[in-house]
Structure formats: C-alpha cells, structure tokens
Structure 1
C-alpha cells in the first residue's frame, strides 16, 4: 500500500528491485496501444507509472484491466 510522504512530492511504495519501501515518483501516462494509424485515436489507455527514487527502477501498470 502506498503512503504519502511530506518530505517530497511522491509516495512511499515497495520496490521489488530494492526489496524496501522507498520513495517513488508516480504519474499517469496515456499510451496508444494500436499499431494501426487509423485506429490509434481509439486505443489510448491510462497507465500508472512509478519510478523508485533510490534505484531508478520504473514500472507501469495498465489502469483499465477489468
């Protein structure tokens, strides 16, 4: 579970690479999933992207996985 940290604009989360709870920068990116240009406007999906501020490991997770 993520927690807020008042020392920095980020979240404290578990980093699988560091195997510790570390400060992460978290953002949401809209990514185009279709390789076909004519359908690209209909294939955009939100992804939650986290980057560990200790080791730099980045992970992304599709947010619409129902």
Structure 2
C-alpha cells in the first residue's frame, strides 16, 4: 500500500527489486486492450502504473477487473 509518510515529494511503496519502501512515481494510464481495429475504441481500460525512483522497476495493475 502506498503512503506519503517520510517521503520528500511523492509516494513510498514497497519495491520487490529493492526489498525496501522506496519513493515511487504513480500515474494512471488508459490502455487499449483489443488488437482488432474495429473494437479498439471499446476496449480501453485504466491501469495504475508505479515506477520505483531508486531502481526504475515499473509495475502496472489493471484498475477495472470486471
């Protein structure tokens, strides 16, 4: 879980690669999941993207698991 405690300017989260709570840059991206051109406009889903500012490890998680 992300926290803002003890962080200079951002979120601290656990990083699997660093094995520590580190500063992360977190954003939300809209990604198209369909490879079919005619359905692409209906297959966009939000993803939470988190990047460790110490080692650069990047993870993403689909936010709408319907």
TM-score where L is the length of structure 2: 0.92
Task: Write out aligned runs for 1:20-59 (5 A).
Answer: 20-59=20-59
Residue 4 of structure 1 deviates from its aligned partner by 1.3
CA-CA distance at 1:53 after TM superposition? 0.3
Q: Secondary structure at the match of 1:46?
A: strand
Instruction: For structure 2, list consecutive stretches of 5 or more residues without a partner in the other structure.
Output: none
Q: Secondary structure at the match of 2:25?
A: strand
Q: Size of the alignment, in residue pairs?
A: 65
By how many angstroms is 1:65 displaced?
A: 1.6
1 or 2, which has the higher strand percentage? 1
Q: Which residue of 2 aligns with 1:11?
A: 11
**What are the ranges of 5 or more consecutive residues in structure 1 without an aligned counterpart?**
none
Could you tell me how far 1:14 is from its partner in structure 2? Answer: 0.1
1:3-60 CA distance string (max 9 Å, x none): 115521x210000110000000000000000000100000000000000000000000
CA distance in 1, matches of 2:28, 2:20: 23
Q: Structure 1 runs of 4+ off > 3 angstroms?
A: none
